[in-house]
Amino acid sequence: MLRIDRATYDAIVAHARKDHPDEACGVVAGPEGTERPERFVPMLNAARSPTFYEFDSADLLALYRDLDDRDEWSVVVYHSHTATEAYPSRTDIGYASGPAADPRTHYVLVSTRHHGPETGLVGDEVEFRSYRIVDGEVSEEEVEIVESYLFGHSPTTVVYD
């Protein structure tokens, strides 16, 4: 299960809407070894494409150095699909199953296919789904949104890897 606070959830959705029709991407960092997505880090989609995303190679290095300095890791890696459903594509699965990709990562997929810009209308929801991807196998997981991560969450429920 992915437990994520409302502000971070909203920030991911807002990023996806803003970059629509291109795919948006980024990570949510948290203390290394934990399941706590605490620090929203939007990244530039170096591909600037409606069908592909990638972290720029230099940006990726800078990100991981920063995470390392803070003793953090990427709890969540998110990206948007802008014309298809919020389900990992074959390309997504390939990268997520790469030999250096951590299978403990939560892959969040957001789809803006029905609602690119915010309409303010009832039902104006983008799809927000989360997955684990291990050796090419995709399993969807429940997403629980808590109002405030720090207060809405008891440390006794943290599952440490």
Residue 79 DSSP code: E
Taking the C-alpha atoms of residue 158 and residue 20, their distance in angstroms, rounded to an integer, is 34
Write down the least CB distance from residue 84 to another protein, Å. Answer: 4
Do you find a cis peptide bond into 37, omega within 30 degrees of 0? no
Q: Using an 8 Å Cβ cutoff, are 138 and 28 in contact?
A: no
Q: Among 130, 50, 118, which residue's Cα sits nearest to residue 84?
A: 50
The residue count for binding another protein (CB under 8 A) is 42
Give the C-alpha separation, 130 to 139, whole Å: 9
The alpha carbon of residue 160 and the mean position of all alpha carbons in its chain are separated, in whole angstroms, by 20
Judged by beta carbon, residue 50 or residue 146, the one nearer another protein is 50
CB of 8 to another protein, least distance (A): 18
Q: How many residues does the chain have?
A: 161
CA-to-CA distance for 148 and 49, rounded, in angstroms? 33
Site for another protein in 2-61 (CB under 8 A): 23, 25, 27, 32, 43, 47, 49-55, 57-58, 60-61
In the complex with another protein, the residue whose CB is nearer, 50 or 145, is 50
**Considering the complex, what minimum distance in angstroms separates the CB of residue 72 from another protein?**
11
**Please, what is the minimum distance in Å from the beta carbon of residue 140 to another protein?**
16
Window 83-142: residues binding another protein (CB under 8 A): 83-84, 88-89, 91-92, 94-104
Beta carbon of residue 6, minimum distance to another protein (angstroms, whole number)? 25
The helix (run of H) or strand (run of E) holding residue 2 is strand 2-5
Binding site for another protein (CB under 8 A): 23, 25, 27, 32, 43, 47, 49-55, 57-58, 60-61, 64-65, 68, 73, 77, 79, 81-84, 88-89, 91-92, 94-104
